[in-house]
Amino acid sequence: MTIRKANSSDIIEIVEIHMNRFHNFFLTSLGSSFLRIFYKAFLKSPGILLVLEDEGEVKGFVAGTRDNRGFYKKIVKNNFLSFFLIGIKLLFAKPASLLRVGYKIIKSDKNSIIFAELLSIASKKNKRGYGKLLLKGFESEVNNYNPDLLPVALTTDYDENEKAVRFYRDSGYVVLEVFESFRGRKMYRFIKYFNNI
Ligand SMILES: CC(C)(COP(=O)(O)OP(=O)(O)OC[C@H]1O[C@@H](n2cnc3c(N)ncnc32)[C@H](O)[C@@H]1OP(=O)(O)O)[C@@H](O)C(=O)NCCC(=O)NCCS
């Protein structure tokens, strides 16, 4: 099993894994065209996009940012034309979802704590060790260029999500806060500090 930086030829596979593993998630509802633009944006700094290969194929991915400050604004700015065109498409097909994207962008700027952020992680099959390796790979990638030793944070559902919650706790993450996201969806924010390494 190896972890490597993703490149543009991995995007289709990453989107397929996302579509299969993130049912009932808002981003999934925006469709694979949106997700292709979304994940492609992580190929540029401060984005991080890694894939795990096993038996000669991509079995999972992890996406995030080295620094949460203004991240969504940066990726939209860096990929303005693609997001503008998909935004027009969404405006006609799913106008309410555009509002939610805007809410997410504005909300993400309001965090008072600075951290590296894991935004998406998925493996094709559970319990093969892919998830833990991807998480470790993400943390190493953050720590390779992390002079300020920023912690890594992530959000995950509070309800009916015991397995993922255990996965993060077992990997050294602690609850920073419980908060309500869009339409009152209860979420955990987990954090892991690296000050002692
Ligand atoms: C969360 C996820 C990435 C874990 O990946 P994984 O490949 O199963 O991880 P590992 O094989 O390294 O297993 C790590 C631990 O997580 C547990 N786990 C986490 N989510 C699980 C799930 N949905 N089903 C079964 N086990 C799960 C495993 O039991 C395992 O525990 P163990 O070490 O005590 O055996 C994977 O379940 C997944 O892709 N889920 C769908 C997408 C998702 O929910 N992502 C996280 C959203 S915040």
Q: What is the pLDDT of residues 119-137, one digit of tens each?
A: 999 999 999 999 999 999 9
Is the CB of 137 inside a 6 Å radius of any atom of ligand 1? no
Please give the residue range of the domain that contains residue 50: 2-150
Is 156 domain-assigned?
no
Ligand 1 atom closest to the CA of 60, numbered from 1: 39
Is 190 domain-assigned?
no
Domain count, the chain: 1
Where the chain has pLDDT below 70, the residues are 109, 111, 196-197
Is 90 domain-assigned?
yes
3-class DSSP assignment, residue 25:
coil
Is 163 domain-assigned?
no
- Look at residue 196 in the predicted model and tell me its pLDDT: 55
Is 196 domain-assigned?
no
Q: Which CATH number covers residue 136?
A: 3.40.630.30
Ligand 1 atom closest to the CA of 124, numbered from 1: 39
Which residue, judged by its Cα, is nearest atom 5 of ligand 1? 131
96-123 confidence digits (pLDDT tens): 888 888 777 777 767 678 899 999 999 9
149-163 confidence digits (pLDDT tens): 889 999 999 999 999
Q: Are strands 152-157 and 174-180 parallel, antiparallel or unpaired?
A: unpaired
Is 164 domain-assigned?
no
Q: From ligand 1's centre to the CA of 77, what distance in Å?
A: 33
- Residues forming a β-bridge with 154: 118, 190
Is 162 domain-assigned?
no
User: Is the distance from CB of 114 to CB of 79 less than 8 angstroms?
Assistant: no
